Amino acid sequence: MVKNSRKIFVLGLDGVSWDQLNPLMKEGVLKNLKSICAKGVSGRMESIIPPETVPAWFAIATGLNPGKTGVFDYVNRTSRDSHTIVPLSPNCYSQRSIWDYLGKNGYEVGLFGYPTMSPPLEVQGFCVSGPDRSWEHPLAFPEGLEQELNDITGGYEDHINLRNPKYRKDIDTFFTDLNRIIKKQCNAIKYLAEKKNWDFFFAVFTFTDWMEHMLCKYYDTSHPDHDPPASREVLKKYHETWAIIDEFIGGLKSMLSEGTLMMIISDHGSGPVASAFYANTWLERMGWLRKKRGWKQRVAGNLKLFDGKSHSRYGSRVFRILRNRILKIKNIMDMIDVESSLAISPDHNVMAGCLHLTQAGKKIPGFRDKLVQELRELPQKIDGIESVEIYLPEETYHGECVGLSPDIIFAINKYGCTVEVDFNDKPFSASPSLPWRSGGHAPMGIFIGSGDGVAPQTLERLHILDMAPTILAFYCVPVPANMDGNARLSWVTPNQDRPCRSGSG
């Protein structure tokens, strides 16, 4: 056993882009981050398609493109001929993630807040689930860690219900809750980094993504709904919150032992969202989708339970009981007559469009081309749609699971118009589907690297699929041949006093 092994600390800032960080650095809000960037390497890092939290973090962990894993979304279909979708579980990571390879080579791993880690993964080390966890499962592995975290934070917290109307009535309450949660997570990470054994620590902050969704129109001066006088007070609070994050980053950096490589990354970028496209309504208008006509669907239709603007009511208990228990209509598929439709958009969590051809649709020669053609012509037909980008599975992915991809993925207005599955009175709305959401995802995220032996430079053409091979290569763990990314390590000269455990580096 080598005593002073190599160490990497990765801090994931979900949804953060340079468009967000640069003004904050310029205005002196992110002093520590600015200094880390100046002394280290940085660059833009491209996400997968679609740039969405769960599949992106999954791609980071595995170094595999969605065509090899079947993970295109938080919910994915299980077979080519089915429209049944199932949520990603921690099991999907098994045997192919960075932490598996490191664990097998004797390295201790710490995971914190990684999306979809519920129940917490039993890694060689420790794992704390993220805010998307199920309350049925313990927060952390190993047993006893949850109690420790509760003790040191005075009751661990990591979740905010963004749909809570109180945040729209008084945005100060959002910042109060957010700052409290951020401080607890920061304290938990510092505690784990200091007290536990680890060679590789990967912590993810999801709240940075909540901030861009909630606050984009206030901080992004290019946002169509940006109103400078109305933004002034919110911006002050926004800066205070980022200053808390920056202070944590500075403290963490000085706490990490010499020779620890620090990486700060995001899974995707972010940008303004100002409109919504209702894919199933559009398919219905085109004559390619039919709704079910049962009494439950008629009641649901009359009460607008699957209406574009009903999202804001999802938090309501009465609404949920009515939908789920009385009508037993749990998702949009219960509203659609799949047998009589040619194309549908099943539930998805991504902000891009995802269309599936039904069995009947697949039988019609050239039908997918026709759909693609109609989507491409949307800018000429609908005011407010400026661009449509189409991603066909066979051109976008490679691997044995390409067939599980939606048949067409598309982005409108460069992801500035979200694509929804709910029905609406018209296919396009010039306002966001959720009243509180003014920001969304974009393909370009961030990469920052810092530590001994790192020479300042700008890195070009980084991709999130490069993360897993880069990390494994740093530890001299052989990079599996099926990984899609490349080891990008030219910017660091590893400290020779800290050899690899395998002894080969």
Contact residues: Zn ion, CB under 5 A:
14-15, 53, 209, 267
CA distance 186 to 198: 17
Residue 308 amino acid letter:
G
Q: Which is nearer to Zn ion, 93 or 101 (CB)?
A: 93
Compute the least distance from the CB of residue 204 to Zn ion, in Å.
9
The residues that bridge with 344 in the sheet, in sequence order, are 356
Q: Which is nearer to Zn ion, 18 or 474 (CB)?
A: 18
Q: Which is nearer to Zn ion, 14 or 199 (CB)?
A: 14
Alpha helices per DSSP H over 50-206: 53-62, 66-69, 98-104, 145-153, 165-169, 171-195
Q: Which is nearer to Zn ion, 53 or 97 (CB)?
A: 53
The residues that bridge with 247 in the sheet, in sequence order, are none
Q: Which is nearer to Zn ion, 269 or 494 (CB)?
A: 269
Cβ atoms of residues 184 and 156 within 8 Å: yes
Nearest alpha-carbon partner for 268 in 54, 459, 472, 63:
54
Compute the least distance from the CB of residue 224 to Zn ion, in Å.
23
Residue nearest to Zn ion (CB): 53
Q: Which is nearer to Zn ion, 252 or 442 (CB)?
A: 442
Compute the least distance from the CB of residue 17 to Zn ion, in Å.
11
Q: Which is nearer to Zn ion, 116 or 396 (CB)?
A: 116
Six-digit token string for 312 = 């804001």
Compute the least distance from the CB of residue 5 to Zn ion, in Å.
30
Compute the least distance from the CB of residue 208 to Zn ion, in Å.
9
Give the three-class secondary structure for 153.
Answer: helix
Compute the least distance from the CB of residue 168 to Zn ion, in Å.
22
Q: Which is nearer to Zn ion, 129 or 310 (CB)?
A: 129
Give the three-class secondary structure for 97.
Answer: coil
Residue 381 phi, psi dihedral angles, 5° rounding: -105, -30
Q: How far is CA 153 from CA 43, 156, 205, 455, in A?
A: 34, 6, 16, 37
Q: Which is nearer to Zn ion, 14 or 466 (CB)?
A: 14
Compute the least distance from the CB of residue 406 to Zn ion, in Å.
19
Q: Which is nearer to Zn ion, 158 or 267 (CB)?
A: 267
Compute the least distance from the CB of residue 357 to Zn ion, in Å.
28
CA distance 488 to 292: 52
Compute the least distance from the CB of residue 360 to Zn ion, in Å.
35
Q: Which is nearer to Zn ion, 60 or 378 (CB)?
A: 60
- Give the CA dihedral 235, 240, 241, 242, nearest 10 degrees: 90
Q: How far is CA 148 from CA 45, 139, 196, 291, 352, in A?
A: 35, 11, 12, 51, 40
The residues that bridge with 43 in the sheet, in sequence order, are 447, 459
CA distance 436 to 459: 35
Half-sphere exposure of 434 (CA within 13 A, CB side): 23
Nearest alpha-carbon partner for 399 in 485, 487, 484:
484
Compute the least distance from the CB of residue 12 to Zn ion, in Å.
9
CA distance 15 to 2: 37
Compute the least distance from the CB of residue 183 to Zn ion, in Å.
22
Q: 208: which residues sit within 8 A by CB, 6+ positions away?
A: 13, 14, 15, 16, 245, 266
Number of Cβ within a 10 Å radius of residue 175: 21
Compute the least distance from the CB of residue 500 to Zn ion, in Å.
31
Q: How far is CA 433 from CA 9, 52, 249, 273, in A?
A: 37, 17, 34, 10
Q: Which is nearer to Zn ion, 267 or 422 (CB)?
A: 267
Cβ atoms of residues 410 and 353 within 8 Å: yes
Residue 192 amino acid letter:
L
Give the three-class secondary structure for 241.
Answer: helix
